[in-house]
Structure 1
Amino acid sequence: MPSSQQARAQASAITSGRSAPEAEVSATSQLRTLFDRPRLSPGHRRIAQYLIEHLTEAAFLSITDLADRVGVSQPSVTRFASAVGFSGYPALRERLQAIALGARSVGAPAEESRGNELQAAVDAEIENLENLRRDFADPDRLIDLGRRLSESAPLTVLGLRISVSLAEYFAYAARRIHPDVRLVTLGGSVASDALLQSREAGGTWVLAFSMPRHAQETLTAVRVARGAGLKVALITDLALGPVVDEADVAFATGTGSRLVFDSYAAPGVVCAALLQAMTDADPERTQARLEEYEHLAEQHHFFLRD
């Protein structure tokens, strides 16, 4: 009799391709695609990040107001528009307004009281999850990454400072379905040693987490990994920036920022989805390892009986 987890692994396989023709790509994903230029200057990246984070308001700002909000000059905004493929700021703003208005129309709830601050924090996370749902309309990129991570032996999972919790969750679950998962939660030379050892042992991929506030140590570790010949997959809230630039594959999704400390509903779902993709990549190994684990859990009484 398979355990509930084995049954879920069998029943939850991700289907390749767009599951619903009417599904919309989230506004954030559209902007990431729009601004995906390899040689954006730091000032241009600041403009792009501001537009991504404040699209609804920023799409209707004048060039003067946008420059003031970002803290750059008006000519910098004009050069940014040109750098991302537009004839000038008016053309860019027209495109931003179309994206913003489209995002409002897709599943936008009727205007209602946002309640108290805790309810507003939940509302913000619901919006992050709705954006992620639209991003998952085409799961092929996630399926492909799951296969690559599944094939990497060892597989290194990196999360420093505030990102430790997500890395620990992912590594804990991945060890149930992967034979060699190595967790790195300390930066500096400790991280460098672990990454170099992973590559020497035959590893090909690192899964890194970078949540705000983004640690300089994470960027350093990712660069060490790349220098050693490891591929880097990144789960983050950023669409642009130096850590994203270093990654081979990046999944950017929103975090809840309405309370003193951020909440991670959407990144948590990305973790679970990526774990599912890893189970799908090698179902025979998955079932064998889950069966072995259930036997050990029963033998040593790991869990209370429900």
Structure 2
Amino acid sequence: MDNNKYDLMKLIQVRFPRMSKGQKLIAEYILKHYDKAAFMTAAKLGNTVGVSESTVVRFANELGFSGYPKLQVALQELIKNKLTSVQRIEISSDFISEENALKSVLKADMENIRATLEKINNNTFDRVVNEIFNAKRIYIVGFRSSQALADFLGFYLGLILDNVRVVSNGVSDIFEQLLRVGEGDMVIGIGFPRYSSRTVEALKFAKSKNAKVVAVTDSLLSPLASNSDLTLIAQSNMASFVDSLVAPLSVINALIVAVGLREKENISETFKTLENIWEEYNIYTYRSRGSNDI
């Protein structure tokens, strides 16, 4: 049986018309929530969709698996090997149309935040905040679509702390930017499927230099997580060919706020100074006081 994700998803769709009513319920759930189904027992999956455990076993057989455990392994592989953009378009078109795009995507992002709230470990989150204050230097790494998240985290942490650096694609290679990383430093790697190999390599390098490595990613099975000391989980299930980064951004927001609350007195003075600078150099559009313009 080919465990390739695209083949498995398409196989479910091809076999769908001849499935029983109960099997169709399982198929629909897996197509939408394969990340959850991957770690459910046959009994749990059956209970979730409202069918018997034996129906779940027959569903696995219908797909060509010798038993449900084999299907479960294949589903877990799906998490590691995400679809290409072209494959995402083909599969997501079955669930999202131009007419319902707004509602479907917003609902999917809401579900990602809800699932993240259930999955994320509060103790790990608190430990990450503590490690941020213990670190001599903080490097933030994230490429491809995760670059936006890395820049956002770097921008705000840089306003609060003076030891933050975002590693970026530029004139110098990422390893040159991480040249002096070592024990006592922290490297925060941000990455979601399809994982950037450069981010994974950067975290491996940092770990080899005995730096504290934190991953912000979608699963403990992520290659970022396997190279980290602490992992913050944020769900990023795709709603289309566009990566869903709403939940990861929310976790990063929480991280910034938690750090800021500890430095409340210091950042108050910092932002007073910044407000004066922003006004003096017209960084933002300010309305003149007393103006009656609307």
Fold conserved between structures, TM > 0.5: yes
RMSD: 3.4
Q: Which residue of 1 aligns with 2:259?
A: 278
Q: Which residue of 1 aligns with 2:242?
A: 261
Query: How far does residue 75 in structure 1 lie from its aligned partner after superposition?
Result: 9.5
Q: Provide the rounded CA distance (Å) in 2 between the counterparts of 1:234 and 1:240.
A: 12
SS of 2:284's equivalent in the other structure is: coil
State yes or no: 1:237 paired with 2:182.
Answer: no
The answer to whether the Cα contact below 8 Å between 1:279 and 1:286 also exists between their aligned partners in 2 is yes
Task: Among all aligned residue pairs of Structure 1 and Structure 2, give the percentage whose two residues are the same amino acid.
Answer: 21
Query: How far does residue 257 in structure 1 lie from its aligned partner after superposition?
Result: 1.3
The answer to whether the Cα contact below 8 Å between 1:147 and 1:281 also exists between their aligned partners in 2 is no
Find 1:123's aligned residue among 104, 107, 115: 107
The answer to whether the Cα contact below 8 Å between 1:256 and 1:265 also exists between their aligned partners in 2 is no
The answer to whether the Cα contact below 8 Å between 1:171 and 1:181 also exists between their aligned partners in 2 is yes
Matches within 5 A, 1:99-248: 116-135=100-119, 139-186=122-169, 190-199=173-182, 204-248=185-229
The answer to whether the Cα contact below 8 Å between 1:167 and 1:209 also exists between their aligned partners in 2 is yes
The answer to whether the Cα contact below 8 Å between 2:124 and 2:232 also exists between their aligned partners in 1 is no
Cα distance change on mapping 1:119 and 1:75 into 2, 3 Å: closer
Note the alpha carbon deviations across 1:14-40, whole angstroms, 9 max, x for none: xxxxxxxxxxxxxxxxxxxxxxxxxxx
Query: How far does residue 288 in structure 1 lie from its aligned partner after superposition?
Result: 3.2
Find 2:273's aligned residue among 251, 272, 292: 292
Cα distance change on mapping 1:163 and 1:53 into 2, 3 Å: farther
Note the alpha carbon deviations across 1:132-175, whole angstroms, 9 max, x for none: 33456x74432331221133232111011221111011111111
Q: Provide the rounded CA distance (Å) in 2 between the counterparts of 1:281 and 1:65.
A: 52
The answer to whether the Cα contact below 8 Å between 2:191 and 2:216 also exists between their aligned partners in 1 is yes
SS of 1:276's equivalent in the other structure is: helix
Q: Provide the rounded CA distance (Å) in 1 between the counterparts of 2:269 and 2:175.
A: 33
Q: Provide the rounded CA distance (Å) in 1 between the counterparts of 2:282 and 2:167.
A: 28
Query: How far does residue 179 in structure 1 lie from its aligned partner after superposition?
Result: 0.6
TM-score, L = length of structure 1: 0.61
The answer to whether the Cα contact below 8 Å between 1:257 and 1:263 also exists between their aligned partners in 2 is yes
Note the alpha carbon deviations across 1:248-298, whole angstroms, 9 max, x for none: 111122125112211211111101100011113333333333233223223
Q: Provide the rounded CA distance (Å) in 2 between the counterparts of 1:182 and 1:131.
A: 30
Q: Provide the rounded CA distance (Å) in 1 between the counterparts of 2:230 and 2:109.
A: 24
Q: Provide the rounded CA distance (Å) in 1 between the counterparts of 2:115 and 2:222.
A: 21
Q: Provide the rounded CA distance (Å) in 2 between the counterparts of 1:154 and 1:287.
A: 22
- Give unmatched runs, 5+ long, in structure 1: 1-48, 81-114
Q: Paired residues, what number?
A: 220
Cα distance change on mapping 1:154 and 1:73 into 2, 3 Å: farther
SS of 1:232's equivalent in the other structure is: strand
The answer to whether the Cα contact below 8 Å between 1:255 and 1:263 also exists between their aligned partners in 2 is yes
